[in-house]
Amino acid sequence: MTIHQPALFEYINKTQPTTDGPDLSSDSTYMCQSSYESSLWAIGSCIEAADIMLQHFIDENAKPENYFVLCRPPGHHSESNTAQGFCLFNNIAVCASHLQERLKSINSTATHEIPNRVMIFDFDVHHGNGTEKIFYQSKDTLYISTHLFGDKRFYPYTGSIESTGKDEGEGFNVNIPLPCVNCGDEEFLMIIDEIVIPLAQEYSPSFLLISAGYDIMEGDSVGRMLVTPKGIHEMVSRLQHIPSIKNQVLCVLEGGYSHSILAEGVCATVQSLLHQPFMSFDSLKQKKMWLVKRADNDTGSGSDEFKEKEEEEMDEVIRINPSVKKRVKDAVSGAICKVKEIQGKYWKCFSAAHNEASSSSTPSSS
């Protein structure tokens, strides 16, 4: 499957500024002298990660591992023939397509065929309109996006709950539009437990790719959500338990508008991918200082054990007015129920919710 038309590469290369300083091209897409080269490195990094990910299907001695592609520019807004929303090329779509093409080749000589199914979960606060459009008619890629929607008042103004795919892809596009800001750890984990994991268990993908957007985190200047680093760690940890992916997850960096918040989110994700317990960014910096101090201590005196600062329990930290918190949770619960009703037409795991909604909307005969 060809993700981008050659004309888009030619356009980006030709449009790239030749002088220093950013240039606003179109639709919130900035470019500078290094944009085209950087975007090619981003795509190449995703392809290389995909190739490494495939090794355990080729070599039985290869150990399945997790991967994180730290790339810029991001990609999930880019469509086949357009660059938009800070995105020049769709990195994760290229990665998914490459995995599927390579797997076809592997299956042609394999004793046991490996299901050629990829699942993409996008937790960026913005809807991945580009990824959705690229795979909208494909049954081989299940795209799930949770994003702030606000009745089409939030960029890119797409991602309605009714957009479920087309033709062969009908039912393989799942939008979970968030009705409000201030969604935190509890709400996102609820979405993963009630929507994402049941779908993954039924779809049984061979690969899980995550569009990791950290504008859902508390303190981000754009997203206005309340997800904590500890929440990010738990989200990624739960997603790794999907049986069919055999402990392999590939994350691709998407949004994030605060450097410090972005760093904390990426750090928490990497800890989870390495199967390490969560440690806050501040604690990690303290540990680094302790290691340096210990290495510089010629006398060998002082403590030989690092004492990690105790983490605050999330339920002890009041981040939002309790009445507002309840309204947010109720709103997200309502959105989850609606997703189940609509997707129950296609997925057995939600069929009960779909049947219940259908029966309640059917007029009773007199």
The tens digit of pLDDT for each residue in 287-334 reads 666 666 666 665 444 455 555 554 444 444 456 788 999 999 999 999
* pLDDT for 186: 97
Q: For residue 143, count other CB atoms closer than 10 A to its CB.
A: 29
Cβ contacts of 84 within 8 Å, gap of 6 or more = 26, 27, 28, 29, 77, 78, 130, 156
What is the count of structural domains for the chain?
1
User: Span 334-356, mean pLDDT?
Assistant: 93
Report which residue type is found at 150.
G
Which residues form the domain of 246?
6-289+313-361
Q: What is the mean pLDDT of residues 100-105?
A: 94
**pLDDT at residue 242, as a whole number:** 95
- 212, part of any domain: yes
Domain presence at residue 39: yes
Task: Let me know if residue 299 belongs to a domain.
Answer: no
Within-domain flag for 321: yes
Q: Higher-confidence residue: 63 or 9?
A: 9
Could you give the CA distance from residue 213 to residue 210 in angstroms, rounded to a whole number?
9
Residue 294 lies in a domain: no
11-65 pLDDT, tens per residue?
Answer: 888 888 776 655 556 667 888 888 999 999 999 999 999 999 998 888 878 888 9
pLDDT at 313: 45
Average pLDDT, the chain: 88
- C-beta of residue 64 within 8 angstroms of C-beta of residue 246: yes
> Containing H/E element for 283?
helix 281-296
pLDDT band at residue 173 under the 50/70/90 scheme:
very high
Q: Residue 61: which CATH number?
A: 3.40.800.20
Compute how many other C-beta atoms are within 10 angstroms of the C-beta atom of residue 135: 25
Residue 139 has pLDDT above 60, yes or no: yes
Does 129 fall in a domain? Answer: yes
User: Which among 193, 182, 266 is positioned nearest to 229, based on CA atoms?
Assistant: 266
Does the pLDDT value for residue 250 go beyond 70? yes
What's the token pair of residue 97?
Answer: 């397509």
Marked catalytic residue, from 4, 77, 127, 233 = 77
β-strands 207-212, 173-178 pairing:
unpaired
- Tell me if residue 112 is catalytic: no
Q: What is the number of alpha carbons within 13 Å of residue 321 lying toward its C-beta?
A: 3
